[in-house]
Amino acid sequence: MREIIKNNPCKDCAVKSSTVYNLDNEELDVLCNNSTEIQFQKGERIIKQGTFTQNIVFVKSGIVKMHLTGPIHKDEILKISKGPLFVGVPDVFANKVHSYSVTALSDTTACFIDFSGYKYLVQNNGKFALELIKTLSENIVTHYQRCVSKMQKQLTATFAEALLYFSEYIFESDEFQIPLTRVEFGEYIGTTRETVTKIISDFTKDKIIEVNGKHVRILNKDILQKISNVG
Amino acid sequence: MREIIKNNPCKDCAVKSSTVYNLDNEELDVLCNNSTEIQFQKGERIIKQGTFTQNIVFVKSGIVKMHLTGPIHKDEILKISKGPLFVGVPDVFANKVHSYSVTALSDTTACFIDFSGYKYLVQNNGKFALELIKTLSENIVTHYQRCVSKMQKQLTATFAEALLYFSEYIFESDEFQIPLTRVEFGEYIGTTRETVTKIISDFTKDKIIEVNGKHVRILNKDILQKISNVG
DNA sequence: ATTTAATTGTGGGGATATTCACATTTTTTA
DNA sequence: TAAAAAATGTGAATATCCCCACAATTAAAT
C-alpha cells in the first residue's frame, strides 16, 4: 500500500517552496534529516488517534480530514484541508499521544519529519517559531468560529457552508466530487447520513444543486450563501 | 469603575511566580515595560470582540469567560477559566482584530502588556516561545475535544460536565456559586435559559444536586460523572 | 421604601433532527 | 462474473429541544 522513498533528497520539498516557512537550504536539511516520504491512498490513515507522537507530518499534496472519536464513540470530522500543510503539530507539543486522527481523502503524499529537527528550528529560528505561533493562533481562532457556527446554525445552513467550503477553498470550482461518503458528511456537519440525504434531496428539488452520487454542481451559489448566512 | 495603578513595579507580578514562564528579572522588565494593571468588576468586559488587538492581557486573578457572537447574532461562551493566565493571545498573532470577547465573571485583576515586549521575548527567549507554543497547542487540542463533546452529547450530559468542571477545576469544591446567569449557562452549554432551568429542576428532583439560585451543592458526584460520560 | 429592570420558573405547542426498518444501488472482493 | 459488502435512498414514528407567553422572584436604581 505504501511506497517509501529512501534517501529523500528534499531538494524540491514543498516546505521549501511554501513561502511562509522560507527556510534556507541548511535549515531544510535539518528538517529533512531522518525524514521519510510516504504515499497514501484515498482512505488510508496517516495519523491514528491514540498513538504516540513521534513525528511532525507534512502533507505535500492531497486532501485530508482531521477527525476524532468523541465521548459517545462517534466519529467527528474537525477539519478538511489540503496540502501543502503540516498536520498533527499541536499534539506533538501538547501531548505524548495524538488526540485526533488524520486520514487521506484523496491520494496523498506526506513527509514524516523527526520531531527533534522541527523543535531545533523552533528554538533556533525565531522567524520559524513566530510563523508556527501564527499558524497555531489562526487555527485556534478559525476553529472557535467554526465550532460556534456549527453549534448555532441549523443543519441546512451548515451543509450549505460545507458545500461552499469545498467549492471555494478545496476545489476552487462550482463542480466537484464530494470527497466524503454520506456518513462522513454527517460526521463533518454533525448529523446522520439520513439527514444528509434529505438535505441533498431538498436542495436538489429547489434547484440549488445538481447531484449525482458524489458529483456535485452548484447551480445557485447566491442562495447557498444566503442559506449558510441565515442559519 | 476602573482603577489604574501607574508605575506598576511588576516586582511581585504573577507572571513571575507562574513557574511555566520562569522569566528572570530583566525579562520581566521587558514584559512589564509599558504595562498597566487594571481592576475589573464582575460583569465588566476586559477584551471586546471586534476591537483592534493592541495588548496581551494577563489575568492575575479572577474568573473570566471567553465568548463570541456567532453567525446568528447569538452569544456563545467558548471557555471559562481563572487566573493566572494570558488571554486574547491567539488573536494578537492571528488577526488585527479580536475575534472573541473576554469578560470578568468575578472581580478580576488584569495586566495589559504591550505586544512588542511580549513579541520580543518570543523571538529572543526560545524557552518562552516554546512555552507559548505548548500553551497554544494545549488550547487547540482541548478545544477540539470540548467542541466534539458539546456537539455529540445531549444537553443533560453537557450540563453535568459543566458542573463537574466548576466543581473540580474552578472552585475545587462540591459547593459553589455558579458564576453565570441562566442565560449565560445556556450560552455556555449551547442551549436556552428555559432548558437550563428544566435540567436543573430534573437534577434536583433526582437528588443529584441541591440548588438555591446560583448556589449549588453537588450531592451525587458519581451519577453526575456517569451522566456526563454516557452522553 | 418604591419603582423599575433583570432574572428566573413553568407549561404547552411545534420544529428540527434522530432512530429504525427496509429497499435499492454501487463498490469491492473472491 | 458472481457473490458479498458497503453505501445510499426513503418513509414513519419518536425524541429532544426550541420558541412563545405569562407569572413570579430577585436585584438594581431612584
Alpha carbon distance B204, B210 (integer Å): 6
Contact with chain A for residue B47, Cβ under 8 A = no
Grid coordinates of A100: 485526533
Q: Do A126 and B130 touch (CB under 8 A)?
A: no
pLDDT of residue B94: 93
- Average of per-residue pLDDT values in chain A: 90
> Is the Cβ atom of A210 within 7 Å of strand D at any atom?
no
pLDDT of residue B95: 86
* Cα nearest neighbour of B89 on chain A: A137
CB B152 within 8 A of CB B158: no
In total, chain A counts a number of residues equal to: 231
Closest nt by CA–C1' to A190: C17
Q: Residues 60-119, chain B: which have Cβ within 8 Å of A?
A: 68, 70-72, 74, 76, 78, 89-95, 99-100, 119
Alpha carbon distance B178, A183 (integer Å): 39
pLDDT, tens digit, 9 for 90 and up, residues B42-54: 999 999 999 999 8
Give chain B positions within 8 Å (CB) of A89: 137
Give chain B positions within 8 Å (CB) of A148: 68, 70-71, 76, 78
pLDDT, tens digit, 9 for 90 and up, residues A95-111: 889 999 999 999 999 99
Alpha carbon distance B49, A138 (integer Å): 16
> Is the Cβ atom of A213 within 7 Å of strand D at any atom?
yes
Q: Which of A144, A27, A29, A45 is nearest to A87 (CA)?
A: A45
Looking at the predicted structure, is the pLDDT value of residue A79 above 70?
yes
> Is the Cβ atom of A181 within 7 Å of strand D at any atom?
yes
- CATH 1.10.10.10 intervals, chain A: 153-230
Task: Work out the percent of chain B whose per-residue pLDDT is above 70.
Answer: 90
Q: Closest to B94 (Cβ–Cβ): which among A89, A123, A141?
A: A141
pLDDT of residue B9: 55
pLDDT of residue A222: 97
* Cα nearest neighbour of A96 on chain B: B138
Look up the pTM and report it: 0.93
Q: Do B144 and A68 touch (CB under 8 A)?
A: yes
Q: Do B92 and A137 touch (CB under 8 A)?
A: yes
pLDDT of residue A133: 94
Looking at the predicted structure, is the pLDDT value of residue A150 above 80?
yes
Q: A153-230: what CATH class?
A: mainly alpha
Fold of A4-142: Jelly Rolls (2.60.120)
> Is the Cβ atom of B154 within 7 Å of strand D at any atom?
yes
The answer to which of A28-37, A156-165, A202-211, B79-88 has the lowest mean pLDDT is: A28-37
Q: What is the mean pLDDT of residues A35-61?
A: 93
Helices A126-152, A115-124: inter-axial angle, 10-degree rounding: 110
- CATH 2.60.120.10 intervals, chain B: 4-147
Looking at the predicted structure, is the pLDDT value of residue A4 above 60?
no
CB B84 within 8 A of CB B192: no
- Average of per-residue pLDDT values in chain B: 90
Looking at the predicted structure, is the pLDDT value of residue A67 above 50?
yes
Q: How far is the CA of A201 from the C1' of D18 (A)?
A: 25
Q: Work out the burial of residue B50: count CB atoms within 10 Å of its CB; fewer than 13 is exposed, 13-18 middle, 19 or more buried.
A: exposed
pLDDT, tens digit, 9 for 90 and up, residues B95-117: 889 999 999 999 999 999 988 88
pLDDT, tens digit, 9 for 90 and up, residues B63-94: 999 999 999 999 999 999 998 999 999 999 99
Q: Return positions of chain C under 7 A from a protein CB.
A: 7-12, 16-21, 26-27
Specify the higher pLDDT residue, B121 or A94: A94
Which band of pLDDT confidence, cut at 50, 70 and 90, is reported for residue A19? low
* CATH hierarchy code of domain B4-147: 2.60.120.10
Q: What is the DSSP string of chain B?
A: ---EETT---TT-HHHH-TTT---HHHHHHHHTT-EEEEE-TT-EEE-TTSBP-EEEEEEESEEEEEEE-TTS-EEEEEEEESSEEESHHHHHH-SB-SSEEEESS-EEEEEEEHHHHHHHHHH-HHHHHHHHHHHHHHHHHHHHHHHHHHHS-HHHHHHHHHHHIIIIIS-SSEEE-SS-HHHHHHHHTS-HHHHHHHHHHHHHTTSEEEETTEEEES-HHHHHHHHHH-
